[in-house]
Amino acid sequence: MSSRYPDANTGRNSPASVQFPGPGNTRVPFAAFSDPDLYRRELARIFHGPSWHFLGLDDEIPNPGDYKTTYIGETPVIVARVDAARINGFVNRCSHRGNLVCIKERGTATKLTCVYHAWSFDLEGNLTGVAFQRGARGEGGMPDRFRREEHGLRKLRIGTVCGLIFGSLSDEAPELGDYIGPEIGARIRRVLHGRPKVLGSVTQALHNNWKLYAENVRDTYHASLLHLFYGTFGMTRLSAEGGIVIGETGGHHASYSRGSASTAEGNKDYDGLRSNQSGFQLEDARLLRHVDEFGDGITVQILSLFPNFVLHQINNSIAAGIVVPKGPDAAELVWLYLGLEDDDPAMTERRLLQANLSGPAGYISMEDGAVTGFIQRAIKGSEAACAVLDMGGDGHGSTTSRATEASVRGFWHAYRAQMGL
Ligand code: FES
Ligand SMILES: [Fe+2]
C-alpha cells in the first residue's frame, strides 16, 4: 500500500518513505527510526504541528523579566515571564538575519537584544530598537517603507498546567487542557498536588532516534525485565497491582503500580528470567523508603504526553523531562527533578536521595538509554524489517494489565494520525 500525503513545508503531495504494514499498530518498520526524510517531516508535522511541548516550570522563571531557552523539536525557543500572571514564548531567532536572540540558557532582562546588529525586542516580542535605523552621518539606514511592527519575534501559544509550561507553534492545536484530556490531567494533578519547584536537572545524550525513547517510557512490559533493580527490590513487578490509562488519541499514557514485596508467588512469574535475582541487599535502605504522600499506595507512576514529555513518580522522586530530537539517530533527554512548595526538609532530602534511581546513571533508568542505543546500532541494514508489538493484542485502550504494549501502540496510533501515514 502506498500512501501519499501533503508535505507540510511545500504543500505538495509526496510519497511516504516509510510504510506501516499492520495489523493495527503492531508493526513498526525500523526505517521509522533512521529515515532522514521521515525525520524532516516529523519536525514539520509533529513539532511544528498541532501538539503541545513542555518548555519548563513556572518556578524556573519566577520574576518579571526572567527567561529561559529550550527547544520545540530542533527549533530553539525562549520562554519569558512578563508579569505575575503572564508568560510569553518566542522562536529564538532574530527577525533580522536569523541569529539566536538569547544565547544564554537563562537570565533576566527588560528587553532582548541580539548580539549581531543589536536589534532589540520587548517581552511581548515586539521589535523596539533597530541600531542605526536612520543611518550614520545622515547616510544609509532603513528605507521609509521599513516597519518595525512587521518584524517582531515569532510568538508561541503558551499554556500551563500544575506549574508546567507548554508551548505550541500551531494555531490548530486544541486548548492545552483538551489536548491532555481529563484522565491524564487527573494523573498529572495526582503527582503535582502542590506547586512544583526545581531541585536539580540533568541532560543525557542519547545515541538513538527520539521515538525509541518515546516508546521506552510507554513500554510497561520491559520495566521489571530490563531493570534488575525494580524486580530485585520489589519496587514494581508485572504481577503487582497496577494498570495503564491511555488518553483518547492514544498518544498520552499513565502507567501505575503498587509496590510488591518479594513473595514466592510473585517470584514464580519471573522463574528463569535474568531479573529474578535474589540475595542482594542495599547497604542503605533509605533509598527505597517510600512515604505514601498521595494516599493511594502507588509507588511508581510513569506518565507521557505526546509527543515527547514524561512525568514520573518513582517512590518519592518526581521528575519532568523531554526527549529533544537532534537528528534521525540522536537525541537529548533533559530531566528536571522536582519537589513541591510545601515539602519539609526531610521530604526534600528523600526526593533528592531517590533521584538516584533515575537519570543517566540511575539505578533503574541507566539501562534505558543503553538499550535504545543498542537498537539504533542493531537496525542498520534492516530498515525494511519491523518491530513486533503484539503483546496484549492490537488495541491501545486503558487496561489493568501491564503485560502489554498497548501504550506503545497508542503512541504509534497518534503518530501516524499526525504524520498522515
Ligand atoms: S541578526 Fe539580529 S540584529 Fe542582525
Ligand atoms: Fe525503563
Does residue 108 sit in the same domain as residue 186? no
Q: Are 414 and 251 in contact (CB under 8 A)?
A: yes
- Judge whether 226 and 366 are in contact, CB under 8 Å: no
Q: Residue 269's pLDDT is what?
A: 64
Between CA 7 and CA 421 the distance in angstroms is 12
Q: How far is the CA of 101 from the centre of ligand 1 (A)?
A: 8
Domain co-membership, 399 together with 332? yes
Predicted local confidence at residue 364, as pLDDT: 87
In 130-241, the DSSP E strands lie at: 157-161, 164-168, 196-206
User: Which residues, listed in sequence order, are joined to residue 245 by a DSSP beta bridge?
Assistant: 254
Q: What is the pLDDT of residue 283?
A: 85
The reply to whether 195 and 330 lie within a common domain is yes
Indicate whether 288 and 393 sit together in one domain: yes
Q: Judge if 201 and 283 occupy the same domain.
A: yes
pLDDT for residue 259: 73
234 within domain boundaries: yes
Same domain, yes or no: 155 and 200? no
Q: What's residue 274's pLDDT?
A: 64
End-of-domain residue from the set 127, 159, 191: 159
Integer Cα distance of 380 and 394 in angstroms: 27
Pocket-forming residues, ligand 1, beta carbon under 6 Å: 94, 96-97, 99, 114, 116-117, 119
Render the burial of 179-218: b for 16+ CB within 10 Å, e for the rest.
bbbeebbebbebbbeeebbebebbebebebbbbbbbbbbb
| pTM of the full structure | 0.93
Cell of 367: 539501562
pLDDT at 60: 97
Place of cell 539606514: 141
What is the 8-class DSSP label of residue 233? Answer: T
pLDDT digits (tens, 9 = 90+) for 26-67: 999 999 999 999 999 999 999 999 999 999 999 999 999 999
Do 134 and 216 reside in the same domain of the chain? no
72 in a structural domain: yes
Q: What is the pLDDT of residue 135?
A: 97
The CATH number of residue 138's host domain is 2.102.10.10
| pLDDT < 50 regions, the chain | 1-13
Tell whether 412 is covered by a domain. yes
80 in the same domain as 225: no
- The rounded Cα 32 to chain-centroid distance in angstroms is 19
Closest ligand by atom to 213 CA: 2
* CA gap 126, 145 in Å, rounded: 18
Residue closest by Cα to atom 3 of ligand 1: 117
In a domain, 13, yes or no: no
**Same domain flag for 194 and 127:** no
Closest ligand 1 atom to the C-alpha of 114? 2
Q: How far is ligand 1, taken at its centre, from the CA of residue 153, in Å? A: 12
The answer to whether residue 23 is domain-embedded is no
**Ligand 1 pocket mutation pick from 96, 102, 112, 120 by most atoms within 8 angstroms of CB:** 96
Q: Is residue 378 part of a domain?
A: yes
The residue segments making up the domain with residue 244 are 182-419
Q: Which CATH number characterizes residue 235's domain?
A: 3.90.380.10
Give nearest CA residue, ligand 1 atom 4: 117
Give 189-194's long-range contacts (Cβ < 8 A, gap of 24+): 189/162, 190/294, 190/296, 190/301, 191/294, 191/301, 191/303, 191/311, 191/313, 191/318, 192/162, 192/163, 192/164, 192/311, 192/318, 192/338, 192/340, 193/293, 193/294, 193/340, 194/340, 194/341, 194/342, 194/343
Strands 53-57 vs 66-72: parallel, antiparallel or unpaired:
unpaired
Q: How far is the CA of 106 from the centre of ligand 2 (A)?
A: 30
Are 277 and 330 in the same domain? yes
- State in Å: Cα 362 to ligand 2 middle: 11
Protein residues with C-beta less than 5 angstroms from the ion ligand 2: 368
Q: What is the pLDDT of residue 258?
A: 86
Q: Answer for the pair 255, 302: CB distance below 8 angstroms, yes or no.
A: yes
Q: Is residue 305 part of a domain?
A: yes
pLDDT of residue 263: 54
**C-alpha cell at position 243:** 494498570
Residues 82 and 218 in one domain: no
- 114 & 206 share domain: no
The tens digit of pLDDT for each residue in 362-397 reads 888 889 999 999 999 999 999 999 999 999 999 999
In the three-class reduction of DSSP (H, G, I as helix; E, B as strand; rest coil), residue 360 is classed as coil
Task: Write the single-letter amino acid at 397.
Answer: G
What pLDDT, on a 0 to 100 scale, did the predictor assign at position 115? 98
**pLDDT value at residue 83:** 96
**Does any domain span residue 174?**
no
Three-class SS state of 46? helix
Compute the distance from residue 97 Cα to the ligand 1 centre, in Å: 5
Which of 126, 159, 192 delimits the end of a domain?
Answer: 159
| pLDDT value of position 59 | 95
**Number of domains comprising the chain:** 2
